[in-house]
Structure 1
Amino acid sequence: MKRSVLLLSVFICTSVGFSYAQQKTRLTNNWEFLKQDIGGIWEAVRPVTPGNPESVPVWQKVNLPHCFNARDAVDPDVNYYQGPGWYRTQLDIQNPYAGGHTLLHFEGAGQKTDVYVYTTKVGSHLGGYDEWTVDITQAVEDFKKTDIYQKRFKGHIPIEIRCDNSRDLETIPSQLSDFNVYGGLYRYLNLVYAPALSLDKIFASAQVDKDDKQGDLQIKARFYNPAGKTAAEGTVRLIDPQGKLIMQKNYSVNDLKSDAAIGTFQIKKPKAWSPLSPALYTVEVSVKSDDQVYVQIEKVGFRNFEFADNGPFYLNGKRLLLRGTHRHEDQAGVAEAMTDNMMRQEMQMMKDMGVNFIRLGHYQQSRTILNLCDSLGILVWEEEPWCRGGLGGEGYQAQAKQMMTNMIEQHYNHPAIILWGLGNENDWEGDFPVYDKEKIRTFMKTQNDLAHSLDPSRKTTIRRCDFCKDIPDVYSPSIWAGWYRGLFTEYRATSEEEFKKVKHFFHAEWGGDSHALRHSENPDKALSNIKSGSGTDERLGDASLYGGAARASKDGDWSESYICNLFDWHLKEQETMPWLTGAAFWIFKDFSTPIRPDNPIPYMNQKGVVERDLTPKESYYVFQSYWTDKPMAHIYGHTWPVRWGDAGEQKMIKVYSNCDNAELFVNGKSYGIKKRNSQDFPAAGLRWMVVFQAGNNDIKVIAHKGKQTVTDQISQQYQTEKWDKPAKLQIEKIKDENGESTVQVKLVDSKGVPCLDAVNWINFSLSGDGTLIDDLGTSRGSRKVQAYNGRALISVKNNKGKSVVGVQSPGLETIFINL
């Protein structure tokens, strides 16, 4: 069997007397998957006769990474699948090391996993987000001795893996959490060949004084030593950010049972790691035993940080305002099974937006993400998945402790990490009949002590559990000004009030939902009904679209127009809060969630500044205008094709830009030059009142930053016709390219006038040869979606055939279009 693999690492040593070929390969292709359980492991390996109707169930071919819930997480008609699923493949295993070990290294699998070699169970793991390894050496050797190894499997080793994301109250994270608890081999799986003695982990502690004059690097090793060897020797090499070897030391160890100190380095004036200059040093550790050598490489950075008591945050002795966001591992079309390229694109977009901090919510995330944070210069808060629901029993707590331990040990070397999160919203009850605050406090203290014992160099933190806020080093209360409670103009006062309650304050989670492509001429209309002075925290039930006090989350229009104003206000306030450590808005990218079926895109949390497929919303550019230095200018409304109002009425045009000044042109006429002032809300003063002409209007801005010039331009229609309530649907094909057709449906009144504020539900269906491109969780990729400005879009993969698209909206006549 041919296998397409990515060779991750091959080291060749030419020292006299030694040679080695240490290798790790990604197992990506030639997998089969079954989305159900089987009667026993024999069903996964028994011989199959072609055409035999008893050869069931039917497995499907897949590539890794793969998630059970790539589509059904956002299927509007069903609950997402939670249960067992099976994977199987056959490997050509030829370990080059005499007496070496063959390992399967899982970068993450959800949520309970069992591993088999043929019918022999070789390992299990509980937890969907930490890394783990199974040694399959003995099982492989035993199987190679059987007759069927050559006769039936042609010299290959059958591997079967059972993943299970069934609901279980005694595991974390809670099913009450606002994200899907996915199943599958949704992170990379590696085949590793190791010699008889190798390295399990390297702990590299890089410290630097506040003057950046002296760097200290202490290195410990944990050995993988199933053979029980009693001694080891090797070399530690330190390479600077330019690739130059600057130090090298030999070591010898006589106790391999515990973590061993193998090297200490002092570096004069090390190049400091920071968001502006993420300098990374390379630590290369080799271990030699008999005639075999194993090498492991880690990246480290020298930086120091401080959360000042009742004050701001300092990095390398200078105040740094943490400008942050959040992230879930979730992507349109694949759910949690994101590839390296997907993750790289996402993190680069964050960096391009000006992010210098990220909270990874609410679990240990892929090693790829942490590597990108190191190399891009993005500081990190990473947390264990103790999220909502209360506190379970002994098994529950043991899992939490183990996952905290694994997260810290596995990500210990990343200079980007400054905070270990102990939990999230642990004041949220519901999983158990008894909700005991004191027991939660006791366990929170246990986790806090555990984190500090594993890593004294970093701080601990939690978000939204007021009765535990005295336990961690840094605390983030709940402040959702202008969304779940209150008005966004109350943000500063509420933040100052909360700041005074703790020694080290950080503001994680703020913002609100926006339905991509929906815009409003009067986005603040709902604010008149919202009571001010009643607090800005989010409370149980506030996410509901029903009942309770008036609030933007329930009574607002969910337009991009409103959320841009909310973000704009927060950002201009943060510019003049010198005591603020920083803030992280929730969240960079829309993500799926099982607890929001009634949102404009069902089962989607729509608080991102980009959609689930990374398409930017207008709010992306609001942040970019405050947080970046590279000149940019963006006219609000690139996805707003038609504006409306009276003839002769003045309309505001906003430009989000970080430039010194900008000049606006509409239909060739200049409306003057405006200077940017961050405190001149909205749009930092870059706004103009303009009278549109009926029909098409061409809008252009020319902005200047020093000697540099940037431009942006859009065209918008202006509709003066008034409309009545929606009376019928109209559909048309607006694009046909690369084998895909895109259709647009509009809601119009009885006279055919487009209803530009209509938010009716739209349901798409398809018959024929094509495939509806849906279940993506995006505004253009959902077969059930609320209209945005009286329209909705969807695409069809034609498959070189004919299809009919149907469109239904409650109370209106269903319509069709032939493709």
Structure 2
Amino acid sequence: MLKAKLIATLLVVLATVSPGSAQRVTRLTTGWEYVQQELGGVWEAVRPVGAGNPESVPLWEAVTLPHCFNARDAVDPSVNYYQGPGWYRTQLDVQNPYANGRTRLHFEGAGQKTDVYLYTTKVGSHVGGYDEWTVDLTQAIADFQKTPAYKEQFKGKIPLSIRCDNSRDLEMIPSNLSDFNVYGGLYRYLNLEYLPAVSVERLAVKAEVDAAGKAGSLALKASFLPTATPTMAPVPVVVRLLDPRGKQVSNYQGKLSVGAQEQDVHQFAVKNPQLWSPTRPQLYTVVVTVGTGPQAYQRREKVGFRHAEFVEKGPFKLNGQRLLLRGTHRHEDHAGVAAAMTEPMIRQEMVMMKQMGVNFIRLGHYQQSRIVLNLCDSLGILVWEEIPWCRGGLGGPVYQAQAKRMLTNMVQQHYNHPSIIIWGLGNENDWPGDFPEFDKQKIRAFMTELNDLSHQLDRSRYTAIRRCDFCKDIVDVYSPSIWAGWYRGIYTDYKEATEKEFQGVKRMLHVEWGGDSHAGRHSENPDNALAEVTASKEADERAGDASLFGGSARVSKDGDWSESYLCNLVDWHLKEQETMPWLSGTAYWPFKDFSTPVRPDNPIPYMNQKGVVERDFTPKEAFYVFQSYWTTAPMVHLYGHSWPVRWGAEGELKMVKVYSNCVEAELFVNGKSYGVKKRDSQDFPAAGLHWNVPFASGENQVRVVARQGKQTVEDHISFRYQTQKWGKPAKLTLQKVAEANGLTTVEVKLFDAEGVPCLDAANWVEFSLAGAGKLLDDLGTSSGSRKVQVYNGRAIIRLAAQPGKTAVAVQSPGLETVLLTL
């Protein structure tokens, strides 16, 4: 829970996020049609428009942007997700207000290869699914307006067709061996831009401050659109620097020569700037105006003054003070839309991260939306952003040129963001498979080229890679593979394994750790699997470890995938991190469950379930473990909100865990106090806030009151306690359990032959529907998948139903199918 003051601050922050883009910009979100297949040519996209021909093929569907080919099939348990071409079309009403101005399309990202057509003329192409790019339409529009089709067929509108293609291609990054989908479509915003004839193409703003935070400087460089010719007379430029409250603190007036080459604009000295940090993300605004009057170009950029340092053989420092980086990861993926997340969705996700206590994020494994970076700036989240050179090995000249181009674009497009401290050059580049040759020396040579290029483009930030030991000496910061308690070893190995890796590099930041959990699955004995696993200082992930079959004993294969186990693993890691003064920080992998083609056998097929929230933002229990260590606003959370039935012997003492950042907490079970306990981060589990208490057979009420000074916060849960033992699952039941907002929820349960609920059952079940209505499936969540493993002998799904006309069935291997008519 956030304090009201913090919530108000977040609302102000979100309201003031500036895209830093050109002057007249319109998001093209509506009026689009889409077809998922190849066309015989662009004429097939243009021809049916307005023709009214009932025999026209193919059939197009209306869509809204952003849009992803794989919104549903990425997690369809029955098919491989679609990889191939798809076409979009619309008609533009172009009204450029600038004399001799430019009209452009600005793509914030499109996957993975894109061709752009105005009528039948190809006006632009791009390879790479994650960097921004533009297409100038000005001349093509002028040419088309001279044709009869402009007025006769299109009635003064401009026909636009776009072909996206995410087909498999070994000479393109990222590799299809990557543990995430290579999505297709116009899955980020597409903008129509009107620009004055003289406009700035790139504005680079370098804000620096010394470690003491006293002496600041602000240097501006600019390059003009290539359409501006050097023969033009110098143009007037005005630069204003506004402090975080919007008050002007400096200004400059001068003239610039017009040309495409980057040139210095001005440098300000800023004494005692207000510093940017995760707790106080102070943002200055730079306003640049080029030209005068109605034809002037204006641009606003948010910048921040901060001094970042990874100490050699030591921790991370921000503004001269040690800061433990408390991080997570983000994939561009969400239930029902896949990569096509809207701005409100992105904002909700980033605010949830901040509520969890995050001060750092690694954007895996590609350049992400400018919306994400703007929010990191304004919320106070430090960033590692990387290019999608991920797995597979090293391709040829085309492959390498794309990687360099995407690195250049990422650095130049996101250079001004104060949140970014690291440019990532690759991930798991020790993972072969795409090419017959796997040459470590060639990979080292190319990594060196990327490292040099990054430093040429931006000397102020660090470079980093994750998990490629034979390249760890090349980059500034290295992250080894340490998965203690999941892929290798047990979680109590974490500190020793990390310290060993720390000794082998100049600077280390541990990104990617954690484990999978099936939302809604809980365990009375979650650590049982650890007894089969050998403790080891080697806690890395190796080839085959992610498989659920074969190999040595490991929790990822032999554990119960319960939220209970993940909470213990997270809890142990966080308590240890508080005792490692040399640690720069870590980033949990990832914040949210996401889709992946390489995990078809997981409890939710095709889902990486390591998130602390589900794919639809529903928090798992581990979210609150992080809150209890990383936040300051008083919070308390009883473990087990999604655990409706606990089990054990009558009179047996059962553990109740409370996650809180408060000084003390008092537990009540069925109205009886079981005493006050003091929080101690080193008292595992739950920082000492754990009680062993008896439950009554049947219904139980549990409440906790936590205190922080004069403030108190409370939480409560109710559940049933089952003392009956059960045998092998023998039958299913299916019943309606809720109805709200036009949706019906049905629940399947597993029972043994005596009718006792099987509370540890993890059988596969599959829902199906007949008649009217629709299942809310292919969402990649535990309650939004038609094929799913049950959690504690139960599973739910929601559907739109028509009374008397809808029937739901559920089947499970070896058990009799059951049917429910609604």
User: TM class, shorter-chain normalised?
Assistant: over 0.9
| Deviation at residue 201 of structure 1 after TM alignment | 1.0
User: Take 1:531 and 1:127, find their aligned partners in 2: how far apart are those partners?
Assistant: 43
TM-aligned CA distance change 1:647 to 1:443, over 3 Å: same
The letter for the 1-side match of 2:166 is: N
Please name the residue that 1:740 is paired with.
743
The letter for the 2-side match of 1:691 is: P
- 8 Å CA contact 2:18, 2:302 repeated in 1: no
2:379 corresponds to which of 356, 376, 381: 376
Within a 5 Å distance, the mapping from 1:706-785 to structure 2 comes to 706-785=709-788
TM-aligned CA distance change 1:101 to 1:801, over 3 Å: farther
User: Take 2:88 and 2:145, find their aligned partners in 1: how far apart are those partners?
Assistant: 21
| Deviation at residue 801 of structure 1 after TM alignment | 7.1
> What's the % identity of the aligned pairs?
68
The letter for the 1-side match of 2:721 is: Y
| Deviation at residue 258 of structure 1 after TM alignment | 0.9
TM-score by length of 2: 0.96
User: Take 1:590 and 1:400, find their aligned partners in 2: how far apart are those partners?
Assistant: 27
| Deviation at residue 290 of structure 1 after TM alignment | 9.1
User: Take 2:583 and 2:19, find their aligned partners in 1: how far apart are those partners?
Assistant: 46
| Deviation at residue 175 of structure 1 after TM alignment | 0.5
User: Take 2:652 and 2:89, find their aligned partners in 1: how far apart are those partners?
Assistant: 65
TM-aligned CA distance change 1:253 to 1:200, over 3 Å: same
Per-residue CA shift, 1:392-427, capped at 9, x if unaligned?
000000000000000000000000000000100000
SS for the counterpart of 2:432 is coil
User: Take 1:188 and 1:22, find their aligned partners in 2: how far apart are those partners?
Assistant: 17
User: Take 2:628 and 2:699, find their aligned partners in 1: how far apart are those partners?
Assistant: 27
User: Take 1:504 and 1:97, find their aligned partners in 2: how far apart are those partners?
Assistant: 51
| Deviation at residue 711 of structure 1 after TM alignment | 0.2
TM-aligned CA distance change 1:118 to 1:801, over 3 Å: farther
2:691 corresponds to which of 688, 700, 717: 688
- 8 Å CA contact 1:727, 1:750 repeated in 2: yes
Please name the residue that 1:42 is paired with.
43
Within a 5 Å distance, the mapping from 1:617-632 to structure 2 comes to 617-632=620-635
User: Take 2:453 and 2:615, find their aligned partners in 1: how far apart are those partners?
Assistant: 35
- 8 Å CA contact 1:107, 1:189 repeated in 2: yes
Answering whether residue 320 of structure 2 is matched by residue 310 of structure 1, we say no
User: Take 1:435 and 1:172, find their aligned partners in 2: how far apart are those partners?
Assistant: 16
User: Take 2:735 and 2:662, find their aligned partners in 1: how far apart are those partners?
Assistant: 40
Per-residue CA shift, 1:513-565, capped at 9, x if unaligned?
00000000111111111011261000011000011110000000000000000
Within a 5 Å distance, the mapping from 1:578-597 to structure 2 comes to 578-597=581-600
Please name the residue that 1:668 is paired with.
671
User: Take 1:770 and 1:57, find their aligned partners in 2: how far apart are those partners?
Assistant: 27
SS for the counterpart of 2:291 is strand
- 8 Å CA contact 1:197, 1:229 repeated in 2: no
Please name the residue that 1:5 is paired with.
none
Please name the residue that 2:519 is paired with.
516
TM-score by length of 1: 0.97
The letter for the 2-side match of 1:29 is: T
User: Take 2:23 and 2:315, find their aligned partners in 1: how far apart are those partners?
Assistant: 46
Q: How many residues align?
A: 805
| Deviation at residue 49 of structure 1 after TM alignment | 7.6
User: Take 1:638 and 1:300, find their aligned partners in 2: how far apart are those partners?
Assistant: 42
User: Take 2:735 and 2:55, find their aligned partners in 1: how far apart are those partners?
Assistant: 47
- 8 Å CA contact 1:739, 1:800 repeated in 2: no
Please name the residue that 1:120 is paired with.
121
- 8 Å CA contact 2:776, 2:799 repeated in 1: yes
Answering whether residue 153 of structure 2 is matched by residue 133 of structure 1, we say no
Per-residue CA shift, 1:338-378, capped at 9, x if unaligned?
00100000000000000000000000000000000000000
Please name the residue that 1:223 is paired with.
224
Please name the residue that 2:323 is paired with.
320
| Deviation at residue 257 of structure 1 after TM alignment | 3.0
User: Take 1:22 and 1:315, find their aligned partners in 2: how far apart are those partners?
Assistant: 34
SS for the counterpart of 1:387 is coil
Please name the residue that 1:281 is paired with.
284
| Deviation at residue 225 of structure 1 after TM alignment | 3.4
TM-aligned CA distance change 1:454 to 1:610, over 3 Å: same
Within a 5 Å distance, the mapping from 1:121-200 to structure 2 comes to 121-200=122-201
Please name the residue that 2:210 is paired with.
209
Please name the residue that 1:556 is paired with.
559
| Deviation at residue 54 of structure 1 after TM alignment | 2.6
Please name the residue that 2:24 is paired with.
23
User: Take 1:505 and 1:607, find their aligned partners in 2: how far apart are those partners?
Assistant: 23
User: Take 1:50 and 1:10, find their aligned partners in 2: how far apart are those partners?
Assistant: 39
Please name the residue that 2:344 is paired with.
341
TM-aligned CA distance change 1:137 to 1:767, over 3 Å: same
User: Take 1:438 and 1:196, find their aligned partners in 2: how far apart are those partners?
Assistant: 48
Which ranges of structure 1 fall in alignment gaps of 5 or more residues? 1-7, 12-20
TM-aligned CA distance change 1:50 to 1:237, over 3 Å: closer
Please name the residue that 1:242 is paired with.
245
Please name the residue that 2:475 is paired with.
472
Within a 5 Å distance, the mapping from 1:365-764 to structure 2 comes to 365-533=368-536, 535-764=538-767
- 8 Å CA contact 1:769, 1:801 repeated in 2: no
TM-aligned CA distance change 1:784 to 1:477, over 3 Å: same
The letter for the 2-side match of 1:469 is: K
User: Take 1:252 and 1:314, find their aligned partners in 2: how far apart are those partners?
Assistant: 39
User: Take 1:722 and 1:492, find their aligned partners in 2: how far apart are those partners?
Assistant: 39
Per-residue CA shift, 1:616-641, capped at 9, x if unaligned?
00000000000000000000000000
TM-aligned CA distance change 1:275 to 1:784, over 3 Å: same
Please name the residue that 1:15 is paired with.
none
- 8 Å CA contact 2:768, 2:786 repeated in 1: yes
| Deviation at residue 327 of structure 1 after TM alignment | 0.5
Please name the residue that 2:13 is paired with.
none
Please name the residue that 1:802 is paired with.
805
| Deviation at residue 802 of structure 1 after TM alignment | 2.4
* RMSD after superposition: 1.6
SS for the counterpart of 2:296 is strand
The letter for the 2-side match of 1:350 is: M
Which ranges of structure 2 fall in alignment gaps of 5 or more residues? 1-16
Per-residue CA shift, 1:574-614, capped at 9, x if unaligned?
00100000000101000000000000000000000000000
- 8 Å CA contact 1:187, 1:337 repeated in 2: yes
| Deviation at residue 251 of structure 1 after TM alignment | 2.5
Per-residue CA shift, 1:711-753, capped at 9, x if unaligned?
0000010000111100000111001122110000000011111
User: Take 1:364 and 1:68, find their aligned partners in 2: how far apart are those partners?
Assistant: 20
The letter for the 2-side match of 1:236 is: V
Within a 5 Å distance, the mapping from 1:74-85 to structure 2 comes to 74-85=75-86
| Deviation at residue 800 of structure 1 after TM alignment | 7.2
- 8 Å CA contact 1:196, 1:225 repeated in 2: no
Identify the range of structure 1 (283-292 vs 114-123) with the bigger mean alpha-carbon deviation: 283-292
Per-residue CA shift, 1:788-815, capped at 9, x if unaligned?
0000000001267721001000000000
User: Take 1:683 and 1:191, find their aligned partners in 2: how far apart are those partners?
Assistant: 52
